[in-house]
Amino acid sequence: MTKASDRAYEAIRGMILSGELSSGDPLREEALAQVCGVSRTPIREALKQLEVDMLVTRTESQRSYVADWSLDDVADAFELRAMLEGHAAKLAAERMTDEILIALRYCNNAIYEAISKPDPDVNAFLDHNRELHALVLKAAGSRRLTNLLTALIEQPVVWRTAHHYDPKAFECSHSEHADLISAFERRDGAWAEAIMAGHIRRAFHAYADAHKGMTKGVGETERGAA
Amino acid sequence: MTKASDRAYEAIRGMILSGELSSGDPLREEALAQVCGVSRTPIREALKQLEVDMLVTRTESQRSYVADWSLDDVADAFELRAMLEGHAAKLAAERMTDEILIALRYCNNAIYEAISKPDPDVNAFLDHNRELHALVLKAAGSRRLTNLLTALIEQPVVWRTAHHYDPKAFECSHSEHADLISAFERRDGAWAEAIMAGHIRRAFHAYADAHKGMTKGVGETERGAA
DNA sequence: CCTTGCTTTATTGTATACAATTAAACGGAG
DNA sequence: CTCCGTTTAATTGTATACAATAAAGCAAGG
């Protein structure tokens, strides 16, 4: 993925998530092309993808703007994710292979390594967490489900959530993964589904709690009291 | 929507669904551009959208092919649709407005008109059916959910399903819609969810039954016994 | 005869020019 | 002063040329 359209995608996404661009800001193709150092063609592809990701909205006249991300929107996304990823866990339990099971255990051990030190390695946690959830999707074996979820999992939200975790929250996440693996070992789809749904919902509340007090929308810069 | 990219999208989609293109056929941009009478740029956008729709797959080297649509794939899609649209029905029941309720009743009446004659008007049925489901999504009020479902509802599959309906199946569909409206009137989310999930699953089995005996994949032309 | 590496060909990726469309600026009439 | 239509500027849509890359064909060596 060293193509210009991918770099443009990452660049624009980064600008949105870092707060360099705020909700509602217009995204003009030519301006972005200059900033990203590419032509408009890859910019258009990137914007199309970001629109699918719901980080960008388009008016009826095809102008693009940075999407608004209210807490309600995030709640909406998390609820859908809980449902779909719960379903994925159920399917995964029914279709689990020994190979993937081993990989899952390895993955959760790596998560443990990352968080069980005085100074938790949040990035390592995120990497292995992502890998673990990807393994569940792989075991579920539904391309459509994978597609839907990747469009739904806003990695930035996960990032923000994890960076507000306290040691106990990390431990909780690891413990839930362990339960999930137990459910997989026993091929207990209903259990796996319940654990996963709870796992996602817990993450949402962690996000919502961390979000409390922030009066501004996600990605918006602080402006101080008027 | 009179843009070249939309026309290209419809044209390619049509070619795939009509069987003019078979599963696994390569889709070369230039060839499609000539067939559609447009340049490669809108063709690329159309292919990207068709890929989201899962009518087209791309190899790691970015070549596009007509996707394979096995019965398992369709079952997968219907299951996800049952879950998501069931969820939508639950939300819709909780957030239903009188205005939408009136529109729903009108819509289901129109469906009744279309099917309760000697020669059912299948196209009118499909139009009003689509409208009814769109109204449910509107009442549910989740942009994300709407996005996910539109990517999931392969209208062609619905089309094929409806065109194999017998009078009793039409009546059944209409009756389930009526029940759904009752659930909405009573703001009974759980009931609405159950009805909708059953409604979609019934549609799947109608599709599967009609599909029996077709040894070829969807969209593939009959070739006769070897 | 099979393999391996190179050459050729086909296909996709990107840049850019131009056309079409839409929003903004402006000006005149009421 | 406001409203409406016209003109102007800005922005997106499309076509096309060229660059980059991957597949296919081919030839030489094992």
pLDDT in tens, chain A (226 residues): 568 999 999 999 999 988 899 999 999 999 999 999 999 999 999 999 999 888 999 999 999 999 988 888 889 999 999 999 999 999 999 999 999 999 999 999 999 999 998 889 999 999 999 999 999 999 999 988 998 898 788 777 888 888 889 899 999 999 999 999 999 999 999 999 999 999 999 999 999 998 875 644 444 444 333 3
Run of H or E residues at B26: strand B26-27
Q: Which of A66, A97, A114 is the last residue of a domain?
A: A66
Task: Indicate whether B22 and B77 sit together in one domain.
Answer: no
The CATH number that applies at residue A48 is: 1.10.10.10
Distance CA A156, CA A220 (A): 14
| Pairing label, strands A56-58, A64-66 | antiparallel
Task: Indicate whether A119 and A155 sit together in one domain.
Answer: yes
> What are the residues of chain A with a beta carbon less than 8 Å away from any beta carbon of chain B?
41, 45, 48, 52, 54, 73, 76-77, 80, 83-84, 87, 142-145, 147-148, 151-152
CA of A18 to C1' of C9 (A): 45
Look at residue B66 in the predicted model and tell me its pLDDT.
95
Task: Yes or no: say if B200 and B194 are a contact pair by the CB < 8 Å rule.
Answer: no
B48 CB neighbours in chain A (<8 A) are: 45, 48
The CATH number that applies at residue A103 is: 1.20.120.530
Tokens describing residue A6: 């991918």
In order of A162, B87, B184, the CA distances from B178 in angstroms are 46, 18, 10
Look at residue B217 in the predicted model and tell me its pLDDT.
43
B37 burial type by CB count under 10 A (0-12 exposed, 13-18 middle, 19+ buried) = exposed
Is residue B126, in this structure, part of any structural domain at all?
yes
* Residue B45 CB lies within 7 Å of the nucleic strand D: yes
Is residue B189, in this structure, part of any structural domain at all?
yes
Task: Indicate whether B140 and B190 sit together in one domain.
Answer: yes
Of the candidates B56, B80, B85, the one whose C-alpha atom is nearest the C-alpha of residue A91 is B80
* Residue B38 CB lies within 7 Å of the nucleic strand C: no
Closest Cα of chain B to A119: distance in Å?
A: 37
Contacts of A26 (CB under 8 A, 6+ apart): A63, A64, A65
Task: Indicate whether A42 and A103 sit together in one domain.
Answer: no
Contact A87 B80 (CB under 8 A): yes
Tens of pLDDT along chain B (226 residues) come to 568 999 999 999 999 988 899 989 999 999 999 999 999 999 999 999 999 888 999 999 999 999 988 888 889 999 999 999 999 999 999 999 999 999 999 999 999 999 998 889 999 999 999 999 999 999 999 988 998 898 788 777 888 788 889 889 999 999 999 999 999 999 999 999 999 999 999 999 999 988 875 644 444 443 333 3
Task: Yes or no: say if B219 and B56 are a contact pair by the CB < 8 Å rule.
Answer: no
**What type of residue is A26?**
P
Interface test with A, best of B148, B150, B153 (most A CBs within 10 A): B148
Contact A148 B80 (CB under 8 A): yes
Supply the pTM of this predicted model: 0.83
Distance CA A203, CA B72 (A): 33
B52 CB neighbours in chain A (<8 A) are: 52, 147
Is residue A127, in this structure, part of any structural domain at all?
yes
* Residue A40 CB lies within 7 Å of the nucleic strand D: yes
Nearest to B144 among A41, A54, A147 (CB): A54
Q: Which of B22, B42, B66 is the last residue of a domain?
A: B66
Task: Indicate whether B33 and B116 sit together in one domain.
Answer: no
Of the candidates A83, A65, A81, the one whose C-alpha atom is nearest the C-alpha of residue A27 is A65
Contact A152 B152 (CB under 8 A): no
Distance CA B146, CA B136 (A): 10
* Residue A3 CB lies within 7 Å of the nucleic strand C: yes
Domain containing B198: what range? 71-215
Q: Helix or strand or coil: residue A56?
A: strand
Q: What share of chain B is helix, strand, coil (3-state, %, to 5)?
A: 70, 5, 25
Is residue B131, in this structure, part of any structural domain at all?
yes
Is residue B46, in this structure, part of any structural domain at all?
yes
Task: Indicate whether B105 and B184 sit together in one domain.
Answer: yes
Q: Which of B66, B87, B108 is the last residue of a domain?
A: B66
Is residue A60, in this structure, part of any structural domain at all?
yes
Report the first-to-last Cα separation within chain B, whole angstroms.
44
Is residue A82, in this structure, part of any structural domain at all?
yes
Task: Indicate whether B46 and B82 sit together in one domain.
Answer: no
Distance CA B62, CA A175 (A): 40
Look at residue B187 in the predicted model and tell me its pLDDT.
98
CA of B1 to C1' of D7 (A): 27
Distance CA B49, CA B41 (A): 13
Task: Indicate whether B81 and B185 sit together in one domain.
Answer: yes
Contacts of B201 (CB under 8 A, 6+ apart): B78, B82
Task: Indicate whether B192 and B101 sit together in one domain.
Answer: yes
Task: Indicate whether B85 and B109 sit together in one domain.
Answer: yes
Look at residue B130 in the predicted model and tell me its pLDDT.
93
Closest Cα of chain A to B171: distance in Å?
A: 31
Structural domain count, chain A: 2
Task: Indicate whether B113 and B171 sit together in one domain.
Answer: yes
Look at residue A214 in the predicted model and tell me its pLDDT.
60
Look at residue B99 in the predicted model and tell me its pLDDT.
97
A54 CB neighbours in chain B (<8 A) are: 143-144, 147
A151 CB neighbours in chain B (<8 A) are: 147-148, 151
Look at residue B213 in the predicted model and tell me its pLDDT.
57
Contact A80 B45 (CB under 8 A): no
Task: Indicate whether B75 and B61 sit together in one domain.
Answer: no
What are the strands of the beta sheet with B26-27, ordered from one edge?
A: B26-27, B64-66, B56-58
Task: Yes or no: say if A42 and A8 are a contact pair by the CB < 8 Å rule.
Answer: yes
Is residue B221, in this structure, part of any structural domain at all?
no
Contacts of B150 (CB under 8 A, 6+ apart): none
